[in-house]
Structure 1
Amino acid sequence: MSDCGCERARRDLEEYLRDEVCKTSPEDIAEHLAHCPGCRDEAHFARTLTDVVARACKESAPEELRDLVIARLRSDPVT
């Protein structure tokens, strides 16, 4: 197994983090991240951002708020 280098690691980072097929082997990217603080920080940021967005997409508005919005939409005439 050889270190893949920053350029290759960053090029394939998103696919690696989503466990998708990429040009660079996952083992090589993992090895690179273990030894490169800059790429490791970038991977941590990307992972955190993905997790936050995923959580936000799963959350739903409280029932009272949804009812209020629907009532408001129904009460306003369409122009």
Structure 2
Amino acid sequence: MPAVLTTRSPLPESIPLENAGHADSAAREHRYNSLVARMAAYQQGSGPAPAKAEFEQWKEDVAYSLAMRRLLADATPRH
């Protein structure tokens, strides 16, 4: 019989939730800042429009961040 995993597995208390982020959060922040800078330059007429792929990556980054927040919120112990 296959093992059954619970859908809510609490994080060990030794791991602070605020530090349980994904290792590539700096890369996501860098991509966001680059996109915003390119959008501003384009709006001011001093640069090309951001590529569709940049918007798609931003969309994926936001979806990932929201999913992680939901997971961490569900893992937060309630007193």
Q: Give the alignment's TM-score, normalised by structure 1.
A: 0.38
Structure of higher RCO (CA pairs closer than 8 Å, 6+ residues apart): 2
Q: Which has the larger share of helix?
A: 1
